[in-house]
Amino acid sequence: MKVHIIGTGLIGGSFALDIKEQFPEAEITGIDANESHLEEALEKGIIDATGTLEELSLADVVILAVPVDVSRNLLLKVMEMAGEDTLIFDAGSTKNGICTAVAGHPNRRKYLAAHPIAGTEYSGPGAAIKGLFRGKTNIICEVEKTAFKLQERALEIFQKLGMRIRYMDPAAHDKHIAYVSHLSHISSFMLGKTVLEKEKNEKDIFDLAGSGFASTVRLAKSSPAMWTPIFAQNKENVLETLDEYIKNLSNFRDLLKEEDYDGVFLEMEKTNHIKTILNGIN
Amino acid sequence: MKVHIIGTGLIGGSFALDIKEQFPEAEITGIDANESHLEEALEKGIIDATGTLEELSLADVVILAVPVDVSRNLLLKVMEMAGEDTLIFDAGSTKNGICTAVAGHPNRRKYLAAHPIAGTEYSGPGAAIKGLFRGKTNIICEVEKTAFKLQERALEIFQKLGMRIRYMDPAAHDKHIAYVSHLSHISSFMLGKTVLEKEKNEKDIFDLAGSGFASTVRLAKSSPAMWTPIFAQNKENVLETLDEYIKNLSNFRDLLKEEDYDGVFLEMEKTNHIKTILNGIN
């Protein structure tokens, strides 16, 4: 099985590591606009060789693991250069725009729209880890638009990598993921910003931070180059979540300002049952 | 060493476990308004016996580990009932109010104001864990107001439990901790609320949540009974942090709405160096 991975960072690199383990005969070729990433991936043995888009006609699988603004344009080119029997899937955090961009394309059936809910706050080939996808959800959109044989090939890979599959409409995906992923990143970045700004005047503030703060602000380590195009592509949904979040925070602020402590208590108690929901998430 | 622990929950119970391990001769007596907590702590061997406030005159150490509204009143009573040579310390997340409440009290020298930055989002004796305090920061306020001999006894305990000590003014403590702890809890609770509200209409939303969301919303599992009085006692500082946080979120929202993606990128990039700061926090 010839696998070409475009984007040899955290996601692409982790796919490479797991595919190599599950399919020992697989040949993994890396393609990356970032030369130093490509060298690092090769040195670390994440990929077997480096390649070019021109070779995609021979590939069995092409994995697009680049920022979502790059992948939307690149996918059209890849669909042209890939062979008739080549499976292409992406791993982007937005699905509506990319599905719309390829709708009605004569080679649409080569492409499977995927979003594995897996990752860490780190990036680059050095962040790639084995088993990243085990037990994680992989959302597949418009599965019926992918050729049967290629659906089958994709599912075999996802299954061997240990993913649980969910099928969704791309618009519903973007709406839901704005709530459970995109908003978390903004809340974390802005929390980090608020504390960093304060630290300019009040030194040593971070010396007092405990594990609770570290957990809440963890996502503020994420890559701005990856997240800016995600927010751009999912702008309307993200704005909706942000408006609701700001409204809830302002309401909490007002309760506290008015010393309505029963109200403050209730706000927290109503949210407390998130415990039972979170227990199922790693 | 006779140790009386008032409040046998997460913090009191974890103190009991570690003190028993580090001071094998210690007798640990538990006092708790919650009878079932007391029974559970006894059954689990966290405490050796149950007791009453009347016995405090014989105690070497009294640890106050109850919600901060309870401890502010209870401390005055405990200072009266404790012996001349009894060390009393608390573990509350606010320090200005309690220090003010006991300022000038004839028994002030029995009390040491402490705040170990340690805990989890769980509560009750079942949440007590060994080694909770190892490597964690313990903030001590107004140390000079505690009797020398009792300072020494407290520091021996904190040291054996593996804590790093920081000395602070109570007003500065409350201001700093609003940023690195109290605000995180509100941001997390309101994030949880925003997503739960959405889930009423859009089922299965949590099925898509990954580890990033779980991390950001972890603190929303915390106890409202513990946190309401903390926010009440630290109201002014918490309101200040909340205003700044809401301002930063609204600004991010405006950049996104205006499609100023360079601005969105910069907002994240400026905060990104929190990576280097967070690496030192467990």
* SS3 of residue B135 by DSSP: coil
Cβ proximity of B95 and B115 under 8 Å: yes
Residue whose pair of structure tokens reads 């967070």 in the numeric block: B278
Question: Regarding the domain delimited by A173-278, which CATH topology (the fold level of the hierarchy) does it fall under?
Answer: 6-phosphogluconate dehydrogenase C-terminal fold (1.10.3660)
Which letter, b or e, does each residue of B109-139 get, where b requires 16 or more Cβ atoms within 10 Å of its Cβ? bbbbbbbbbbbbbebbbebbeeebbeebbbb
Structure tokens belonging to residue A270: 């109503």
Q: Which residues of A touch B273 (CB under 8 A)?
A: 196
Chain B residues lying within 8 Å of A277, measured CB to CB = 206
Convert the pLDDT of each residue in A207-216 to its tens digit: 888 889 999 9
Q: B-chain residues within 8 Å CB-CB of A248?
A: 190, 193-194, 197
Question: In this predicted model, what pLDDT tens digit does every residue of A221-274 receive, in sequence order?
Answer: 999 999 999 999 999 999 999 999 999 999 999 999 999 999 999 999 999 988
pLDDT of res. B195: 95
pLDDT higher than 60, residue B63: yes
Inter-chain CB proximity B275 and A179 less than 8 Å: no
Test B245 with A190 for CB contact under 8 angstroms. yes
At B281 the pLDDT is: 65
Residue A110 CA: distances (Å) to CA of A66, A86, A164: 18, 6, 22
The predicted structure's pLDDT at residue A281: 65
pLDDT at B206: 84
Burial of A103 (0-12, 13-18, 19+ CB in 10 A): exposed
Q: What mean pLDDT value characterizes chain A?
A: 95
A252/B212 Cβ within 8 A: no
Q: Which residues of A touch B264 (CB under 8 A)?
A: 228, 231-232
| Cα A232 from Cα A96, distance rounded (Å) | 12
Q: What is the DSSP track for B26-77?
A: -EEEEE-S-HHHHHHHHHTTSSSEE--GGGGGG-SEEEE-S-HHHHHHHHHH
Nearest chain A CA: its distance from B97 CA (Å): 16
- Other CB atoms within a 10 A radius of the CB of residue A281 amount to 19
pLDDT at A279 over 80: no
- Structure confidence at residue B204 as a pLDDT band (50, 70, 90): confident
DSSP assignments along A57-108, one per residue: GG-SEEEE-S-HHHHHHHHHHHHHHS-TT-EEEE--S--HHHHHHHTT-TTG
Q: What is the pLDDT of residues B209-232, one digit of tens each?
A: 888 999 999 999 999 999 999 999
CATH superfamily name and code, B2-168: NAD(P)-binding Rossmann-like Domain (3.40.50.720)
Contacts of B100 (CB under 8 A, 6+ apart): B170
Q: Is the pLDDT of residue B282 over 60?
A: no
Pairing of strands A27-31, A49-50: parallel
Q: Where are the alpha helices (DSSP H) in B103-163?
A: 148-160
Nearest to A272 among B136, B221, B257 (CB): B221
In chain B, which residues have their Cβ closer than 8 Å to the Cβ of A189? 252, 267-268, 271
Q: Do domains B2-168 and B173-278 have the same CATH topology?
A: no
Q: Say yes or no for a CB contact (<8 Å) between B181 and A257.
A: no
Domain parsing of chain B, residue ranges: 2-168, 173-278
Mean pLDDT of B41-68: 97
pLDDT of residue B200: 81
Nearest CA in chain B to A277: B206
Q: A29-88: per-residue pLDDT in tens?
A: 999 999 999 999 999 999 999 999 999 999 999 999 999 999 999 999 999 999 999 999
Q: Which two tokens stand for residue A259?
A: 């010393």
Digit-coded pLDDT (tens) for B246-281: 999 999 999 999 999 999 999 999 999 888 887 766
